[in-house]
Amino acid sequence: MDKNSYAITFACHGQVDYTRQCIESMHRSGTPLDRLVVVDNASKDETRGYLSALPLGGRIFNADNLGCGVAWNQGALALQAEWTIVMNNDVLVSPGWVEGLIGKAREHGVRVISPAMVEGKLGYDFAAFAPDAGARMRDAMRRGWCHAVCMAIHKSVWMDIGYFRPVPKLLGYEDTIFFHEMSKARVPAGTTGASWIHHFGSITQLAMKKDRGLREGDGLAYRHNYRLLRKSWLDRKLDKFRRNRQIKVWRDKEVAAYGISMHGVCHGAAIEWR
């Protein structure tokens, strides 16, 4: 795949160890680091020194924590390409993950696509698991569902619905609004079993909750952000019910066909498929 056809970006706020793990996994997988733009949202740890020593495609150092929406937009605009992969920094990637994502997006005619993933502690051998899972589920596709942990977005989507809402106080709600706009514009999306990542689990958001004196189960975003969707309480509940029911159908079919599904949660050494 022509590396100039895609760019990769993620935001970070502290948590340099997770950023380092993410970038090192890209290096091991053969991902060219000159296609990666990292946007640092005012980290106080060693993040900036670490990023400054790398041959990245770009690095942006914000004076304040401007939130995910602003940072993702900065990264997407700094290195523009046919496809932009927007992701978290608390992620490990596997060989062929970019090719699996974009190749399947083109094959299935979707304009936003996410990889399959396992979340939680790294209690299993991801390096051995990911190639086998990708080969086993290379033809599996959850059409109509994707996630914000990692997603490849075609440039036409920016033109149709715009970029992420650049409001720092949204505190992580930017992806929900973006998915809502995608749904209204009927942007075709999906998740593929041909590409796999490991997600440690919203590490930056957990750290921000701790900074604010919140518990792990508390919501970080403003509790009335849902009003921005302009949907009634009943419509939101029905949408959630339909989505969860469809995810269960996908999971059951995938486990029956492949022995695994596209979303797992690691508890110790065991993975629960969802």
Q: Read off the pLDDT of each residue in 18-28 and give the average, rounded to a whole number.
A: 98
Name beta bridge partners: 151: 86
Render pLDDT for 116-140 as a digit per residue (tens, 0 to 9): 999 999 999 999 999 999 999 999 9
- Residue 42 or residue 223, greater confidence: 42
Q: By C-alpha distance, which of 84, 191, 82, 78 is closest to 144?
A: 191
- Alpha-carbon dihedral 73, 75, 76, 82, rounded to 10 degrees: -170
Report whether pLDDT(246) > 90.
yes
| Structural domains present in the chain | 3-225 (3.90.550.10)
Render pLDDT for 102-122 as a digit per residue (tens, 0 to 9): 999 999 999 999 999 999 999
For residue 63 the two structure tokens come to: 């004076």
Render pLDDT for 221-239 as a digit per residue (tens, 0 to 9): 666 777 888 889 899 899 9
> 61-76 b/e with 16+ CB inside 10 Å = b?
ebeebbbbbbbbbbbb
Burial classification of residue 226, based on how many CB atoms lie within 10 Å of its CB (0-12 exposed, 13-18 middle, 19 or more buried): middle
- Residue 35 or residue 171, greater confidence: 35
Give the least confident one: 22-26, 155-159, 222-226, 237-241.
Answer: 222-226
